[in-house]
Amino acid sequence: MSIHIRPFDHSPHDYHTAVSIENRVWPDYPTSVEEQRENLVAQGSHLFYQRYMVEMHQQVVATGVVVEANEPEFPGKFYLHLNVLPEFRGRGSAVAFYTHALDVVEAHDGEMVQVNAREDQTAALDFLAKRGFLVAMRHPVYQLDLRQFEPAAFEGALAAVRQQGIEICSVAELQRRDADWERRIWELGELEVMQDIPAVHPYAPKSFLSFRASFLHNPNFWPQAAFVALDGRRYVGLSSLWVPLAQKDRLYTGLTGIVRSHRRRGIATALNIHALMFAKQFGARVVETDVSNAVIDPINAQLGFTAQPAWLDLVKSL
């Protein structure tokens, strides 16, 4: 069987082909050419990043990515991603891509590769297990049907936070009130909140410029869909929603968390309520989150989120 792997050429044809394949594979998570172009810019030129097109008898049947991890404390770590059209699975394209991808990683002094898969993708998990990949992290996924969310039911929770002197406002409002809002959100998110989020490896904060480019200036970040908790002038909590360019009826929670000194005071609940109120008013159908821990899980359950198949991080040492 003739299988050929070539670099993605960044032509309109390759962009449209890749988007078509990814939208076939993940219809609930559609992407767009514009979104993919923006994501490529956000990768940063200092990292190795290469997309590939997998062809079978001159037809593109899969698209994959090999990207160096932006984790200075783990040099030699790479991420691999592959999407294969359903009708061409089990016909050698995945084997060919992973063989090629591992050769690329080793040629760039890679020491570890990480992939992700959803726990209901049993064929993919079997494929990875046979090649020495081990599960390193499980990311639970929860969804909320916004038709079942009634903001009035949570007015008491919002009032309790207001009584503590905590103000919840959108980032759009902060843009008008605080000239240093970008740096202060970076300090809150990268230097405090992210330090306590479970991960495969200890978290190394992004630089301000990197965070600004990848988060605050990401096309999926909307200032009116992100909310900050203020204790006086101090930023003490953050909850954001990502708005996909290709599908605006399904929103995703982004960075969410509270500084340690202000936890267990109902602030996270209030932030999430504000985010869900925005989503409902915006006209979204579903909000999805993969944020899960002992604190946030009861909050999500209270708000009406239900469990979905989880995502798994799998790693392989070279």
Based on the domain organization, do 64 and 165 belong to the same domain?
no
pLDDT single digits (tens) 57-94:
889 999 999 999 877 778 899 999 999 999 999 999 99
Length of the chain: 318
The pLDDT value given to residue 255: 79
What predicted TM-score, i.e. pTM, was given to this entire model? 0.76
pLDDT digits 0-9 by tens, 98-152:
999 999 999 999 999 999 999 999 999 999 999 999 999 998 899 999 999 999 9
pLDDT score, position 161: 97
Residue 25 has pLDDT above 70, yes or no: yes
Domain boundary among 89, 110, 131: 110
The residue assigned the tokens 């392989």 is 316
Residue 316 lies in a domain: no
The answer on 83 and 215 residing in a single domain is no
Pair 147, 86 in one domain: no
Whether the per-residue pLDDT at 219 is higher than 70: the answer is yes
- Three-state DSSP at 277 gives helix
Domain boundaries, position 54: 3-110
Domain annotation covers residue 120: no
- Kindly give, in sequence order, each residue whose CB lies less than 8 Å from that of residue 314, ignoring residues fewer than 6 positions away: 114, 115, 116, 117, 125, 128, 133, 134, 135, 136
Do 212 and 301 share a domain, yes or no? yes
Nearest CA to 63 out of 25, 28, 11 is that of 25
184-199 residue pLDDT tens: 999 998 888 787 766 6
Mean pLDDT of the chain: 90
**Range from 40-49, 122-131, 210-219, 286-295 carrying the lowest mean pLDDT:** 40-49
Question: What is the per-residue pLDDT across 142-151, written as a single tens digit (0 to 9) for each?
Answer: 999 999 999 9
Report d(CA 238, CA 122) in Å as an integer.
35
d(C-alpha 217, C-alpha 211), whole Å: 9
- With vertex at residue 79, the alpha carbon angle to CA 186 and CA 1, rounded to the nearest 5 degrees, is 150
- Percent of the chain past pLDDT 90, that is, above it, reads 68
- If asked whether residues 210 and 302 sit together in one domain, one would say yes
pLDDT one-digit tens code per residue, 290-304: 877 767 788 888 899
Residue 125 is assigned to a structural domain of this protein: no
Is 116 part of a structural domain of the chain? Answer: no
Q: What is the DSSP letter of 206?
A: P
pLDDT band at 45 (very low <50, low <70, confident <90, very high): low
Tell me what the mean pLDDT of segment 17-40 comes to: 88
Q: How many domains does the chain have?
A: 2
In a domain, 260, yes or no: yes
CA–CA distance, 290 with 285 (Å, rounded to integer): 17
Residue 176 has what DSSP assignment?
Answer: H
Q: Answer whether residue 202 shows pLDDT above 70.
A: no
